[in-house]
């Protein structure tokens, strides 16, 4: 196999990132935007020792899973990977992805429960962060790059976001606001960041800047008021002067309205600042949290919620639980969690700012004995030390694991198994339709 040569190939499966997989002379070839069942003519772009990357030149026989692509930026943008596939087929792919990880990495041959699909496949995101190009247009980064792909209307975002980004871009061009350059670390405007509280309709607009302020703030405020009407509750500046790929800095300055907006999730009022963690698909997040509560059976029990963020999972169970203890390492998130508990009149919740492993050790020394432990770790999963503390010192009846990465979930499921906790059931939940990402809620209990 040689670079730039063309081959006929049949696609038989998918990578974890959503590319199609076929074989040429027993060598795996990864082809973006391909579907299992396709027969394709592909051009080889890169050849490694045991695999290669190809590009579709012609679809000779289309897969039955294919559907009409409804986004002009799909083949360039790094966001969606399954927009060319029917949604029911996407759900099958994702459910199989989780099962494959659990079996192959975790060594557990247990099929998943029926997947929970997203009620909406488009316009479901309540948050977007748009990089700004030197020419003033907004868009999203190409796959595995920081090259901005122009996108005036993303199908995943609420339609009002298109009007807001257009207004911000027009304001920046008109007033000659300099655009941030990653290489030279010069320029003012880095990102346009928008949040929507779906249940209340409140909107927050935040400009991420490489400086302390922006000129012509009143003009921008007026333009956004014209678009959002009374829904505009907050216009903020986020100061990020660091030479980094991290989008947000630590300082926020309120230009108009409040420093936060409020949404409702599982009956819980939630304060959202620019720095707050919040699930981007609110409707499906409710289904995920209800499944977690079903697995936790929190009635009359002490619930320890590790990696609690703004406290949303624990607070959603607090009306049934005897006590909820939330742990999170991000100080702003803990402040949000405490505020949210007060906002909802919740008196049986305690929130601790600490690393999950350290807090678990301290709580064990305090003699805290949770009946249920919930873990909702970042993509890297739990540490072996934390799993050891949970299993050896707390010994809860149940562990509920909310995962955003099948591979690390499967790895941790194996570690929990070695510590005496059996994976009883797990349910894939599609929080991110059309992308490669998939959440999983799982229940472990002592053998």
What are the DSSP calls for 312-377, one per residue? HHHHHHTTTSSEEEEEES-HHHHHHHHHHHHHTT--SEEEEES-HHHHHHHHHHTT---SEEEE--
The residue whose two tokens read 């009956």 is 267
From residue 320, give the alpha-carbon distance in Å to each of 95, 261, 266, 426: 31, 27, 13, 22
- Tell me, what's the pLDDT at 149? 87
At the fourth CATH level, which superfamily is domain 6-66?
A: Nucleic acid-binding proteins (2.40.50.140)
Give the three-class secondary structure for 66: strand
Please give the Cα distance from 230 to 49 (Å, whole number): 59
Give me the numbers of helices (H) and strands (E) for the chain, helices first please. Answer: 9, 21
Which residue from 128, 312, 124, 311 is spatially nearest to 204, judged by alpha carbons? 128
- Tell me, what's the pLDDT at 367? 87
- Tell me, what's the pLDDT at 305? 95
Please give the Cα distance from 292 to 230 (Å, whole number): 35
- Tell me, what's the pLDDT at 145? 83
- Per residue of the chain (447 residues), give pLDDT as tens: 889 999 999 999 999 999 999 999 899 999 999 999 999 999 999 999 899 999 999 999 999 999 999 998 998 888 999 999 999 999 999 999 999 999 999 999 999 999 999 999 999 999 999 999 888 788 898 887 888 988 889 999 999 999 999 999 999 999 999 999 988 999 999 999 999 999 999 999 999 999 999 999 999 999 999 999 999 999 999 999 999 989 999 999 999 999 999 999 999 999 999 998 899 999 999 999 999 999 999 999 999 999 998 999 999 999 999 999 999 998 888 999 999 999 999 999 999 999 888 888 889 888 888 999 999 999 999 999 999 999 998 999 999 999 999 999 999 999 999 999 999 999 999 999 999 999 999 999 998
From residue 99, give the alpha-carbon distance in Å to each of 55, 235, 289, 427, 438: 28, 43, 21, 10, 12
Which residue from 186, 15, 161 is spatially nearest to 101, judged by alpha carbons? 15
From residue 24, give the alpha-carbon distance in Å to each of 3, 6, 15, 21, 42: 13, 11, 16, 10, 11
Query: pTM for the whole thing?
Result: 0.93
For residues 102 and 413, the answer to whether their CB atoms sit within 8 Å is: yes
- Tell me, what's the pLDDT at 152? 80
Q: How many CB atoms lie within 10 A of CB 429?
A: 25
- Tell me, what's the pLDDT at 321? 97
Please give the Cα distance from 14 to 371 (Å, whole number): 40
Write out the catalytic residue numbers.
404
- Residue spans of the domains in the chain: they are 6-66, 91-119+281-446, 127-265
Q: Which residues contact 180 (CB under 8 A, 6 or more apart)?
A: 132, 186, 187, 188, 189, 190, 210
- Edge-to-edge strands of the sheet including 398-403? 349-353, 323-328, 302-306, 372-375, 398-403, 439-446, 421-429
Q: How far apart are the first and last CA of the chain?
A: 51
Which residue from 185, 126, 191, 181 is spatially nearest to 158, judged by alpha carbons? 126
CATH of domain 91-119+281-446: 3.40.50.150
CATH 3.40.50.970 corresponds to the domain 127-265: no
Query: What sign has the CA pseudo-torsion 278, 208, 173, 202?
Result: positive
Give the three-class secondary structure for 243: coil
- Tell me, what's the pLDDT at 186? 95
Q: What is the DSSP letter of 111?
A: P
Token pair recorded at residue 119: 């009620």
Intrachain domains 6-66 and 127-265 with the same fold: yes
């Amino acid at each position: 196999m040689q670079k730039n040569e063309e081959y006929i190939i049949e696609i038989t499966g998918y990578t974890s990132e959503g590319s199609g997989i076929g074989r040429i002379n027993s060598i795996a070839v990864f082809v973006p935007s391909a579907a299992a069942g396709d027969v394709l003519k592909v051009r080889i772009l890169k050849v490694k020792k045991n695999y290669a990357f190809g590009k579709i030149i012609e679809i000779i026989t289309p897969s039955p899973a294919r559907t009409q692509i409804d986004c002009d930026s799909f083949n360039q943008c790094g966001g969606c990977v399954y927009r060319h596939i029917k949604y029911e087929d996407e759900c099958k792919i994702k459910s199989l992805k989780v099962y494959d990880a659990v079996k192959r990495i975790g060594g557990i041959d247990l099929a998943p429960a029926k997947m929970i699909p997203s009620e909406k496949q488009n316009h479901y995101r309540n948050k977007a962060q748009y990089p700004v190009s030197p020419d003033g247009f907004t868009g999203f980064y190409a796959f595995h790059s920081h090259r901005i792909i122009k996108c005036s209307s993303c199908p995943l975002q609420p339609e009002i976001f298109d009007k807001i980004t257009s207004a911000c871009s027009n304001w920046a061009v008109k007033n000659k606001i300099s655009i941030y350059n990653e290489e030279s670390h010069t320029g003012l405007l880095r990102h346009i960041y928008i949040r929507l509280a779906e249940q209340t309709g409140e909107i927050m607009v935040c400009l991420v800047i490489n400086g302390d302020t922006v000129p012509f703030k009143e003009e921008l405020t007026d333009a956004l008021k014209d678009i959002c009407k009374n829904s505009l509750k907050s216009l903020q500046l986020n100061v990020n002067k660091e030479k980094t790929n991290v989008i947000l800095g630590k300082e926020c300055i309120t230009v108009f309205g409040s420093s936060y907006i409020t949404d409702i999730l599982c009956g819980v009022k939630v304060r959202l600042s620019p720095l707050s963690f919040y699930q981007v698909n609110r409707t499906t997040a409710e289904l995920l949290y209800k499944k977690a509560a079903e697995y936790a059976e929190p009635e009359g029990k002490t619930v320890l919620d590790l990696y609690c963020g703004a406290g949303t999972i624990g607070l959603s169970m607090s009306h049934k639980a005897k006590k909820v203890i939330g742990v999170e390492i991000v100080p702003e998130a803990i402040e949000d969690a405490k505020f949210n508990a007060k906002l909802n009149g919740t008196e049986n919740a305690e929130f601790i700012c600490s690393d999950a492993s350290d807090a678990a050790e301290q709580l064990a020394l305090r003699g805290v004995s949770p009946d249920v432990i919930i873990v909702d770790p970042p993509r890297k999963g739990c540490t072996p030390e934390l799993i050891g503390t949970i299993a050896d010192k707390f010994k809860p009846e149940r562990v509920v694991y909310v995962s955003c990465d099948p591979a690390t979930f499967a790895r941790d499921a194996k570690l929990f198994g070695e510590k005496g906790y059996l994976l009883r059931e797990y349910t894939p939940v599609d929080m991110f339709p059309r992308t490669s990402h998939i959440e999983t809620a799982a229940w472990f209990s002592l053998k």
